[in-house]
């Protein structure tokens, strides 16, 4: 089934010039998961069957935490009972979001189970078993500026709190499952400037964080919303905010996300729209 997200539900580019930041804000419990995909299992099951190492992984000893994730998800949406499947995957089939179980192994918060059907340029096999600092090794400044704070946040997150953060990038694909960014970017030279509106996509990530009260783990959810740049035409405010954020993005951010690859196409789109 084709996923049709609502137009421009989130506009993180409107928060100002993009930067690397923790940016976590508390949200109300009823705002936890956003729904809007009628049958996530129809999208996730074929990947689970055919590309398992890209989209699924579990470490030994993670089943109690996975079971708790299943209970949390079951409390907010109906979950088809599937005792034949690992509990975290049974839960993930019921929601549009990807689910990451973080547990403390020794001193370090570690990814112990993951259902990653809409991975943004990484795979479950690469991420499973990695600590927070290892997961973020490519992120400029993460280790020095954020690492200890994020670790403390995972340590101290109070049970009822749910936190949210968002980020955005531009990519020449609207596919949710995007494990291989090199293959996607190889197509850029074939895109004509007048095609930019339809072939370049805003890829917006909404993440949430909450404590698992019984096992003490943390559930990290990732929801991807993609929109062709053309969706910005619906709103002059969004278009202007995106243009400002694109042009003000600091060099480290541009380099990390390789935005220079898209400069000519994005500028062609913005100019055609009067920006
Ligand atoms: C409070 C929690 C976290 C914070 C503040 C955080 C922060 C960040 C930031 C700043 C980036 C760079 C892109 C962006 O702006 O988002 C990033 C990338 C990433 N994060 Fe996190 N993160 C958190 C939790 C996690 C968790 C639990 C995972 C486990 C799967 C994870 C996996 C990744 C990966 C794989 C990347 C891409 C790294 C790459 O470029 O290869 N993050 N994160």
Q: What is the pLDDT of residues 31-58, one digit of tens each?
A: 999 999 999 999 999 999 999 999 999 9
Give the pLDDT confidence score for residue 19 in this predicted structure. Answer: 87
Question: Residue of the nearest CA to atom 21 in ligand 1?
Answer: 136
Cα–Cα distance, 102 to 234 (Å, whole number): 38
Tell me the best of 137, 139, 164, 206 to mutate to test the pocket of ligand 1, counting ligand atoms within 8 Å of each CB and taking the most. 139
Is the predicted pLDDT of residue 2 greater than 60, yes or no?
no
Average pLDDT along the chain = 95
Of ligand 1's atoms, which has the minimum distance to the CA of residue 154? 1
Which DSSP state fits 201?
Answer: E
Confidence (pLDDT) at 5: 38
Pocket test for ligand 1, best of 17, 120, 135 (most atoms within 8 A of CB): 135
Contacts of 249 (CB under 8 A, 6+ apart): 17, 18, 259
Distance 192 CA to ligand 1 centre (A): 32
User: CB of 157 closer than 6 A to ligand 1?
Assistant: no
- Do the bridges between strand 218-228 and strand 56-58 make them parallel or antiparallel, or are there none, so unpaired? unpaired
pLDDT of 17 reads: 86
| Residues whose CB is less than 8 angstroms from the CB of residue 235 and which lie 6 or more positions away in sequence, other chains included | 8
Residue 115 makes CB contacts below 8 A (sequence gap 6+) with 44, 55, 56, 88, 89, 91, 92, 98, 99, 124
Res 27: pLDDT: 98
Determine the pLDDT at residue 1: 39
pLDDT of residue 3: 44
Which atom of ligand 1 lies at the shortest distance from residue 121's CA? Answer: 41
Q: Is 253 in the pocket of ligand 1 (CB under 6 A)?
A: no
Token pair for 20: 């690397």
Atom of ligand 1 nearest to the CA of 150: 1
Supply the residue whose CA is at minimum distance from atom 12 of ligand 1.
139
Give pLDDT tens digits for 158-211: 999 999 999 999 999 999 999 999 999 999 999 999 999 999 999 999 999 999
pLDDT in tens, 79-88: 999 999 999 9
Separation CA 121–CA 109 (nearest Å): 22
Distance 135 CA to ligand 1 centre (A): 7
Count of CA atoms in the C-beta half-sphere (13 A) of 188: 19
55 CB within 6 A, ligand 1: no
Strands (E), 70-200: 98-105, 108-115, 162-171
Could you give the angle at the alpha carbon of 154 between the alpha carbons of 151 and 158, nearest 5°? 145
Please say if the pLDDT value at position 139 is more than 60: yes
């Amino acid at each position: 089934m084709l996923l049709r997200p609502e137009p421009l539900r989130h506009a993180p580019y409107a928060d100002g010039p993009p930067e690397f930041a923790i940016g976590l804000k508390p949200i109300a419990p009823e705002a936890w998961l956003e729904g809007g995909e009628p049958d996530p299992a129809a999208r996730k099951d074929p990947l689970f069957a055919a590309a398992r190492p890209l989209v699924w992984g579990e470490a030994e000893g993670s089943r109690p935490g996975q079971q708790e994730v299943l209970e949390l998800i079951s409390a907010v949406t109906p979950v088809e009972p599937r005792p034949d499947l690992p509990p975290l995957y049974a839960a993930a089939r019921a929601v549009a979001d990807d689910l990451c179980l973080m547990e403390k192994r020794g001193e370090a918060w570690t990814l112990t189970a993951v259902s990653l059907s809409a991975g943004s340029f990484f795979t479950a096999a690469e991420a499973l078993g990695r600590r927070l600092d290892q997961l973020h090794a490519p992120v400029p400044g993460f280790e020095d500026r954020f690492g200890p704070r994020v670790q403390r946040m995972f340590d101290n997150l109070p049970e009822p709190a749910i936190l949210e953060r968002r980020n955005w990038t531009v990519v020449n694909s609207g596919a949710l499952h995007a494990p291989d960014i090199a293959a996607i970017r190889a197509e850029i030279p074939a895109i004509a400037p007048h095609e930019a509106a339809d072939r370049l996509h805003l890829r917006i990530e909404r993440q949430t964080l909450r404590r698992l009260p019984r096992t003490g783990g943390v559930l990290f959810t990732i929801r991807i919303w993609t929109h062709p740049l053309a969706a910005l035409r619906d709103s002059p405010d969004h278009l202007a905010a995106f243009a400002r954020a694109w042009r003000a993005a600091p060099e480290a951010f541009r380099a990390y996300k390789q935005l220079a690859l898209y400069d000519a196409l994005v500028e062609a789109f913005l100019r055609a729209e009067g920006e």
